């Protein structure tokens, strides 16, 4: 869930003005297809990033001296796998013909699943990486001669700022999805007889 992902997804569900106007069925179909495509691309990028993190921290575990750096590297790899597994588990998968049955309900369910996932990103995305990075940063502080608490804080400041930014962006994206869900809900009573 990088800031770039957040910007692209935000543009998808905020194409029109901020008013909560109902969406037409054709617009819902179009947005559902675009949304699913964007989610698939985002997930692929996350899996590639996990592979990259695994490769880099695997090399760190092999070549860096000190138990803290090695253990921290291995914990980051485990955290990356947990994060990728959680992403896969939390991303909704459309069933065959699901969109054709009731496109509004389908699209709303997709948005609700994504909103819940983004709202809890601190637990399943950031959380698994923190133990490994904390041990790794402690190892860096010790190896650099800054084994004090302030040395650890200096090394941990940048990753913590990045994690905080990721958390904020995802919370914002979740709020935008809630607004979009409200637009779909507002359109539902007016178009109950609509089929396709």
Q: Which residues of the chain have pLDDT under 70?
A: 1-23, 92-101, 188-196
Whether residue 91 is contained in a domain is answered as: yes
How far, in Å, CA of 96 to CA of 193, rounded? 23
Question: Quick one: CA torsion of 10, 15, 19, 25, rounded to 10 degrees?
Answer: -110
How far, in Å, CA of 66 to CA of 194, rounded? 66
Residue 22: its pLDDT value, please?
63
Whether residue 9 is contained in a domain is answered as: yes
DSSP-derived secondary structure letter, 14: T
- Nearest C-alpha neighbor of 50 from the set 76, 69, 72: 76
Residue 17: its pLDDT value, please?
46
Q: Tokens in use for 22?
A: 């109902």
CA distances from 183 to 37, 180, 190 (A): 21, 5, 12
- 107 C-beta neighbours (distance < 10 Å), count: 25
Whether residue 195 is contained in a domain is answered as: no
Residue 148: its pLDDT value, please?
78
Residue 166: its pLDDT value, please?
94
How far, in Å, CA of 9 to CA of 139, rounded? 37
How many domains is the chain partitioned into structurally?
A: 1
Whether residue 155 is contained in a domain is answered as: yes
Whether residue 149 is contained in a domain is answered as: yes
Contact between 124 and 48 under an 8 Å Cβ cutoff? The reply is no
Which domain covers residue 142, as residue numbers?
3-190
- Nearest C-alpha neighbor of 177 from the set 28, 12, 44: 12
Residue 18: its pLDDT value, please?
43
Whether residue 118 is contained in a domain is answered as: yes
Query: Distance between the two ends of the chain, CA-based, in angstroms?
Result: 33
Contact between 132 and 58 under an 8 Å Cβ cutoff? The reply is no
Helix (H, G, I), strand (E, B) or coil at 76: helix
What's the whole-number average pLDDT of the chain? 83
């Amino acid at each position: 869930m990088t800031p770039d992902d957040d910007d692209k997804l935000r543009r998808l569900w905020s194409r029109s003005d901020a008013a909560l106007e109902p969406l037409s069925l054709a617009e819902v179909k179009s947005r559902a297809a675009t949304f699913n495509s964007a989610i698939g691309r985002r997930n692929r990028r996350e899996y590639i990033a996990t592979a990259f993190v695994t490769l880099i921290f695997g090399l760190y575990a092999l070549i860096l001296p000190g138990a803290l750096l090695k253990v921290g590297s291995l914990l980051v790899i485990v955290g990356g796998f947990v994060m990728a597994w959680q992403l896969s588990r939390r991303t909704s998968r459309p069933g065959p013909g699901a969109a054709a049955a009731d496109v509004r309900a389908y699209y709303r369910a997709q948005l609700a699943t994504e909103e819940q996932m983004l709202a809890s990103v601190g637990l399943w995305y950031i959380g698994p990486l923190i133990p490994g990075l904390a041990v790794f940063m402690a190892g860096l502080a010790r190896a650099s001669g800054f084994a004090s608490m302030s040395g650890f804080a200096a090394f941990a400041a940048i990753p913590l700022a990045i994690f905080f930014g990721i958390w904020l962006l995802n919370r914002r994206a979740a709020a935008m999805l809630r607004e979009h869900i409200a637009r779909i809900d507002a359109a539902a009573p007016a178009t109950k007889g609509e089929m396709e």
